[in-house]
Every structure is written in structure tokens, then in C-alpha cells.
Amino acid sequence: MVRSTIEDIDRMSRRTHSVGDIVTTQELAQLLCLTPRRIQQLAKEGMPKSGRASYPLKECVRFYVSYLQSLAEEYSSESITAEKLRLTRAQARRAEVEAAKAEGAALEAEQVRHESMILAGEIKEAFLALDGRLAPKLVGKSAGEIKLIIGDAVAEALNEVAERIEKHASTIGSENTKSS
């Protein structure tokens, strides 16, 4: 691809210029399929100039081809390095998950879903039981007393749920240790 581009530029330059010619910014931009502003930027980056807004054609073509080759090499080595890094990180994550499974510290997605449903059921059950327990205690009480009674009942329900979850979690941990 680079060789065909060089040959195209060479053919194009022979039509209107000889290889040793000095060209203007506009002519060089047209030959290299760039904007005049980009030619000026490349000149600041080291593209040869022969004077104000004039460039030696042959040296500029060589510079530009070399510039494109270095960009291609830089890009390909960076992308390969980035892909290798991504692959290494993915392999490390996979190894960590496998090690955690082997130690019984990791749960399968289905098991997590199942345990989450149990947890949701425990919470729902505790809060649905509140109305039956609280109704008789709230009759004839002031708003402040009702607030305290409800607050205490909610805290008690949450503590009960926490205790159930802790018991359940300890049985899960012992099951995972046994199955390893």
C-alpha cells in the first residue's frame, strides 16, 4: 500500500513537476492530498523547507512517507501492547474467579439469585407481620407515641431479618466448604 502511494505521488509529481523542483505550500498539499495548514504543521514537525512557503518536492515526499510509516509502526505496536494488556487482565480475572470458586468463596450466579430471593422473602415476611403486631398497641396513642412504637417495631423486625440472614449465610458457607 505504501509503495503504491509513493508511485502515485511520483507519477503525479512528474506530470506537473520534476522531482528536484521546489513547490509551493498549495502545490505540495495537493500532491500529498493534505490541506495547506497540515503542510505547515508538518514543516514545524521537521518537513524540509527551502524558503517561505516553498518546499523541495523530493525531500518532502520522503519525509511524509517516513512520517506515515512511523505512525503506522507506533499505532500497531501500541494497539498490540494494549490488546496484550487487556488479555492478561482478563486472564487474571478469570484465574481469580476460579481460585475463589475453588476456595468456596465465590457463588454461582444462580445461587446468588436464589439467595437474593430468600433474602427478599425474609424482609417481606417481617414487614407484613408488623401490622398485626402493631395495631393493638397503637389504639388510643398520640402521634408521638405511635411514631416511637412503629420505630421500635421496624428496628426489631430488621434485627430479626438480620439474624435469619446471618444463620442462613453461615449454612451457605458451610455448604460451599463441604462441596469444595
Asked, for residue 101, whether it belongs to a domain, the answer is no
Count the helices and strands in the chain (H runs, E runs). Answer: 7, 2
Asked, for residue 124, whether it belongs to a domain, the answer is yes
Largest CA distance in the chain: 107
Give yes or no: residues 126 and 173 share one domain: yes
pLDDT for position 176: 54
Asked, for residue 145, whether it belongs to a domain, the answer is yes
User: Could you say which of 74, 98, 116 is where a domain stops?
Assistant: 74
| Start-to-end C-alpha separation, the chain | 57
Closest CA to 61 of 30, 100, 37: 30
> Poorest-confidence range of 33-37, 43-47, 72-76, 101-105?
101-105
Closest CA to 176 of 89, 96, 112, 90: 112
Asked, for residue 128, whether it belongs to a domain, the answer is yes
Give yes or no: residues 65 and 116 share one domain: no
pLDDT for position 20: 64
pLDDT tens digits, one per residue of 42-83: 999 999 998 888 999 889 999 999 998 888 877 776 677 777
Question: What average pLDDT does the chain have?
Answer: 80
DSSP assignments along 105-151, one per residue: ----HHHHHHHHHHHHHHHHHHHHTHHHHHHHHHTT--HHHHHHHHH
pLDDT for position 41: 94
pLDDT for position 39: 93
Give yes or no: residues 118 and 57 share one domain: no
Asked, for residue 81, whether it belongs to a domain, the answer is no
Give yes or no: residues 59 and 112 share one domain: no
Asked, for residue 89, whether it belongs to a domain, the answer is no
Asked, for residue 33, whether it belongs to a domain, the answer is yes
CATH assignment at residue 27: 1.10.10
Residue 148 has pLDDT above 80, yes or no: yes
Domain ranges, residue 47: 2-74
Beta bridge partners of 97: none
How far is the CA of 21 from the CAs of 43, 57, 111, in angstroms? 17, 6, 76
pLDDT tens digits, one per residue of 112-134: 788 888 888 888 888 888 888 88
Residue 143 has pLDDT above 80, yes or no: yes
Considering its fold, how many domains does the chain have in total? 2
Closest CA to 56 of 14, 23, 13, 16: 23
pLDDT for position 161: 82
Using 50, 70 and 90 to split pLDDT, how confident is the model at 16? low
User: Could you say which of 74, 95, 115 is where a domain stops?
Assistant: 74
Asked, for residue 92, whether it belongs to a domain, the answer is no
Give yes or no: residues 59 and 12 share one domain: yes
Secondary structure of residue 18 in the 3-state scheme? coil
Higher pLDDT, 95 or 74: 95
Give yes or no: residues 9 and 67 share one domain: yes
User: Could you say which of 74, 99, 121 is where a domain stops?
Assistant: 74
Cβ–Cβ under 8 Å, residues 86 and 143: no
- Mean of the pLDDT values across residues 146-171? 83
